[in-house]
Amino acid sequence: MSDLVQLTKDNDVAIITINNPPVNALSPGVPEGIAEAIEQLQKDGDIQAAVLIGGGRTFVAGADIKEFGKMTAGKSRGPGLLPLLLKIEDCRKPLVMAIHGTAFGGGLELAMAGHYRVAVPNAQVGQPEVKLGLIPGAAGTQRLPRLAGVAKAVEMCAEGNPIKAQDALQAGILDRLIDGDLLSGAVAFAREVAGKPAPKTCERKDKLGAPEQNAPIFAAAREAARKKQRGMMAPLAAIDAVEAATKLSFEEGCQIEQKLFLECLFSDQSRALIHVFFGEREVARIPDIPKETSVLPVNNVAIVGAGTMGGGIAMVFANAGIPVLLKEVDRAALDRGLANIQKNYANSVKRGRFTQQYIDERLKLIEPTLSFDGFSGVDMVVEAVFEGMALKKEVFAELDRVCRPGTILATNTSTLSIDEIASATSRLPSVIGTHFFSPANVMRLLEIVRGQATSKEVIATCMQLSKRLGKIGVLVGNCTGFVGNRMFGPYRREAQFLVEEGAGVEAVDKALYDFGMAMGPLATGDLAGLDVGWRIRKEYRHLQKPGIRQPFAEDKLCELGRYGQKTGVGWYKYDEQRRALPDPEVTQLVRKWAAEAGIPQRQISAEEIVDRCLYALVNEGARILEEGYALRGGGPMWYADTVGLKTVYERIREFEKRHDEIWAPAPLLKQLAEQGRAFAEFNKPRTATA
Ligand code: 3H9
C-alpha cells in the first residue's frame, strides 16, 4: 500500500488513515491507497466495519490543487475520484468517515461516499471549489443535495463557504458529533452499525424535492450569483449541476457535473483563481527570513489615532481577540472615533455579519485613552495619525520614550519613508510599516514595509500576525507609496486624465467595473477619501518634475471641500444610504477646468479607458519588480501575461507617443516583451525586500 495511506485494525474494525501532510490532499497515491485498503478489508473475514480518518491536523482538505495545472497541460488525467467513491459506496462493510479539521471539496465528496459521517464539534465541511473557479468534480453536486437537501446544497456549492459541524449535523451531512477522542468515538460508532445494511448516499432521493419547490431555489440562487459573484461562471455551473441532480439519475447527473467541471477547469477564471490561491500562500515565503525565525508575542496593542484608519485598525485587532488601547489627542476626536467604530459594528449586525453579543465582546477589548500611560505595557504600537512626516516623527520620538524595549513600533503610513520615521527613535530594528488599506476592517491586503534596519524577528512577527488578523500580509520595500499605492497612483492618475480629456465620470468607472474591478477608480477615491491623496500630493509637490503633466481635478475638488463619501460629495454626490449619484456639477466643473488648462475634449472608448488604467498599473508594477521593492508579481502582472507582454508593450508605446514620458515603458517590460517572455518567468536577485 502507498506510504500515504495506512490500514490497521482495532479487533473487528479496520482503520484507514490518510497521511499526506499538511492537509491530506488527494494527491496521486492517496486515492490508490484508499482503494487498496478497501479491497483488503473486504477480503478480511475478521473485519465487520471500517473507519476512515485523516492523520495530523485535518481530514481531507480536497483534491490536490497543484494537479489541476497538470490536467490542463495534458500531463495528468486527474485524481480519478469518481470510480474510487463508487467503490467505497459499494463496499459491503459499513464505512464510517471520521472528520476533524476541514473536509473540503474532494474531502467532503469522499466523506459523502462513505456510509456514515461523524465529526468533532470544531470540524468544518464545505465545497469551496467555486473560490477556485471550479465546481465539485467528484459527485459533490449530486451527493450533497441527497444528504442536505437542495437549498443547502445549492448554497454550499454556489457560494463555497464552509459550515460548522453542528450545522452539518442539522443539515443531515453528518450523523453524529463526537466529543472526546474522534477515533475511539468513530470505532464505537462503527461497531454500532456493523452487520446492518450500509446506506448508499447515491441511492437516496428523499431530499431531492419536487420541481415546483426547487424552481424558486434555483432562480434565487442564480440571481444572487449574478449579483454577488458578478461575471463568474463557476457559481452558475454549480447551480446547474445541482439542478441536474434533481432531474436526472445519479449517473447522468455525474456526467453533467463532469462536463461542467471540465469547462470550468479549462477556463481563464479558474487558472487565475488557482494562481491567487497559491499566490496568497507564496507571499509568506521570504528568501532571507526562514520559517523557523523566532517571533515576538503580540498579546495586546496600542493604536495612536482614532480616525478612519486608526478606528478600522482597532476593529481588526479586536476582531482577532487582541486587546487594544486606542489613543487620541482630545476628547472630541476620541468620541468621534469611538462613535464611528460603534456605527460600523452596528452596520455589521444589521447586515447579519456579526451578532450583538459578538460586537459587545469586541467593544470591551477597545480601551479609549487620551494619554500614553499604559503604552509601556503593550507588545506593539500601530501609529495611524495624519500623513505628515513631522507629525509622525513627533509621535515616534514619544513612543521611543514611553514604550519598553522590544515593543514593535509600526506605522500605518501609506507613503512616507519608514527609515526616516524610524530615525526619530533609538531603536531602528523595532520599527516597521504595517499599511492597512481603507476600510481597514474589510480590506484583506496588509503591506508590511521593511525598513533598512527592521529586524527579521519583527518582520516574521508581523507576517504571522497578519494571518491572525485575517489579512494577507505582503512584505514590500520602503519606496514612495510602497507597492500598493505606488501602483495605484498611475492607475488613478489615468482615470483623472481621462475625465479631464472628456470621458464621463461614470463612463470611466463603468468601463473598469465591467472589466471586473469591484469598483471604478473614481468611486474608490470617494470611498477612501480624496483628501488623503491630496494631502500626500502636497507633501511631495517639491519632488514633481517641471513640465510633466499632472492631474488636477481631484485637488480642485478637495479645494471645494468635496472629499468623497465622508463629506457627502466628491466625484459623485451621496444620498443618506451612501449611494453614489451622478453629479452634473462635477461634469461642468471639470469641463471648465479643462478649458482653462487648454485640454482638447474628445470621445473616449471603454477600451481606451481600460487599457490606460490597467497598463498604467502594469508599467509601474514592472518598475517595482525590477527595482526589487516587490518579491513577486501580483494580479496586474498576471493579467498582462495573459494579454501577452508584446501587445501590452506596443500599446504603452502608443500612449507614450501621445502622452509623453509618463508613459515611457518600464525597461523590464520592454526586455521581457522583446524576449517573448512573461512576468511569471522573471526571477531577479532580491534587493530591497530581502
Ligand atoms: C477539489 O477538491 C475539487 C474536487 O471537487 C475534486 C475534483 C476532481 N491542494 O492554507 P494553508 C497547501 S478542489 C494542495 O496555509 P491553513 C497550501 O498551499 C480543492 N495544496 O493552511 C499550503 O502549502 P504551503 C478544494 C493545498 O491551515 C498548505 O497546504 N479544497 C491544498 O490556513 C497549508 O495551507 C480547497 O479549496 C490543496 N487542496 O488552511 C481547500 N490545501 O505550506 C483549499 C492547502 O506550501 N485549502 N494546501 O504554502 C484551504 O482552504 C486551506 O488551505 C485550509 C487550511 C483551510 C485547508
**What secondary structure, in 3-state letters, does 270-298 show?**
HHHHHHHHHHHHHCCCECCECCCCCCCCC
Query: Could you tell me how many residues make up the chain?
Result: 690
Architecture in CATH of 605-690: Orthogonal Bundle (1.10)
Residue ranges of the chain that CATH labels 3.90.226.10:
5-269
Cα(65) to ligand 1 centroid in Å equals: 7
Rounded to the nearest angstrom, the distance between the alpha carbon of 230 and the centre of ligand 1 is 24
Q: What is the CA(351)–ligand 1 centre distance, in A?
A: 29
Q: Is 596 part of the annotated catalytic residue set? A: no
Distance 59 CA to ligand 1 centre (A): 12
Ligand 1 atom nearest residue 127's Cα:
25
Helix (H) or strand (E) holding 318: helix 308-319
Ligand 1 atom nearest to CA at 278: 18
Q: Which residue's alpha carbon is nearest to atom 43 within ligand 1?
A: 61
d(CA 421, CA 441): 25
Q: What is the CATH number of domain 498-512+519-603?
A: 1.10.1040.50
Please tell me what DSSP assigns to residue 600. P
Asked if 323 contacts 361 with a C-beta cutoff of 8 angstroms, the reply is: no
CA–centroid distance, 261 to ligand 1, in Å, is 18
All residues at 6 or more sequence positions from 557 whose CB lies less than 8 Å from its CB, including other chains: 530, 570, 571, 586, 589
Beta-strand relationship, 431-436 and 445-450 = antiparallel
Protein residue with its CA nearest to atom 49 in ligand 1: 61
32, 36, 89, 129: the catalytic one is: 129
Q: What is the DSSP string of 341-368?
A: HHHHHHHHHHTTSS-HHHHHHHHHTEEE
The alpha carbon of 281 and the centre of ligand 1 are apart by a number of angstroms equal to 10
What 3-state DSSP class applies to 174?
coil
Pocket mutation for ligand 1, best pick of 4, 18, 23, 463 (most atoms within 8 Å of C-beta): 23
DSSP string, 32-51: HHHHHHHHHHHH-TT--EEE
Protein residue whose Cα sits closest to atom 32 of ligand 1:
467
d(C-alpha 8, C-alpha 12), whole Å: 11
> Residue whose CA is closest, atom 53 of ligand 1?
61
Task: Chunk the chain into consecutive blocks of 10 residues (it has 690) and report each block's average pLDDT, rounded to whole numbers.
Answer: 91 98 96 97 97 98 95 85 96 97 98 98 98 98 98 98 98 97 98 94 96 97 96 97 98 98 96 93 90 96 96 98 97 96 92 91 97 97 93 98 98 94 98 94 95 97 97 94 91 97 97 95 93 83 83 96 96 92 97 96 97 97 94 92 97 94 95 95 68
SS3 of 578-592: CCEECCHHHHHHHHH
Model confidence, pTM:
0.89
CA atoms of 471 and 467, how far apart (whole Å): 5
Ligand 1 cavity residues, CB under 6 Å: 22-23, 25, 61-66, 78-79, 81, 102, 104-106, 109, 128-129, 132, 134, 136-138, 140, 281
Closest CA to 252 of 139, 136, 108, 114: 139
Q: What is the location of CATH 1.10.1040.50 in the chain?
A: 498-512+519-603, 605-690
CA of 277 to the centre of ligand 1 (A): 8
User: Which residues, at least 6 apart from 189, have a Cβ–Cβ distance to it below 8 Å?
Assistant: 96, 116, 118, 175, 176, 178
Residue span(s) of the chain under CATH 3.40.50.720 come to: 301-478
Please state, in angstroms and as integers, the Cα–Cα distance from residue 310 to each residue in 241, 383, 565, following that order.
Answer: 46, 8, 18
The confidence score (pLDDT) of residue 687 equals 60
Can you name the residues that pair with 49 across neighbouring β-strands?
13
From 32, 39, 89, 109, the catalytic residue: 109
> What's the rounded Cα separation, in Å, for the pair 330 and 307?
12
Name which of 479, 594, 571, 453 is nearest 520 in CA terms: 571
446 bridge partner residues: 436, 473
Q: Which residues contact 687 (CB under 8 A, 6 or more apart)?
A: 477, 627, 628
Nearest CA to ligand 1 atom 50: 61
Helix (H) or strand (E) holding 539: helix 530-540
Residue identifier of the C-alpha nearest atom 48 of ligand 1: 281
Q: How confident is the model at residue 578, as a pLDDT?
A: 85
- Please tell me the distance between residue 22's alpha carbon and the centre of ligand 1 in angstroms: 9
What type of residue is 55? G
Q: Which of 4, 64, 65 to mutate to test the pocket of ligand 1 (most atoms within 8 A of CB)?
A: 65
Superfamily of domain 5-269 in CATH is 2-enoyl-CoA Hydratase; Chain A, domain 1 (3.90.226.10)
User: Per CATH, which fold does 301-478 belong to?
Assistant: Rossmann fold (3.40.50)
What CA–CA distance (Å, rounded) separates 264 from 130?
A: 9
Determine the 3-state secondary structure of 163 from DSSP: strand
CA dist 418 and 422 (Å) reads 6
- Give me the sign of the Cα torsion angle 504, 506, 511, 517: positive
Note if 109 is an active site residue: yes
Query: Considering only CA atoms, which residue is closest to atom 47 of ligand 1?
Result: 23
Nearest atom of ligand 1 to the alpha carbon of 22: 29
Residues 567 and 561: beta-carbon distance below 8 Å: yes
pLDDT at 79: 77
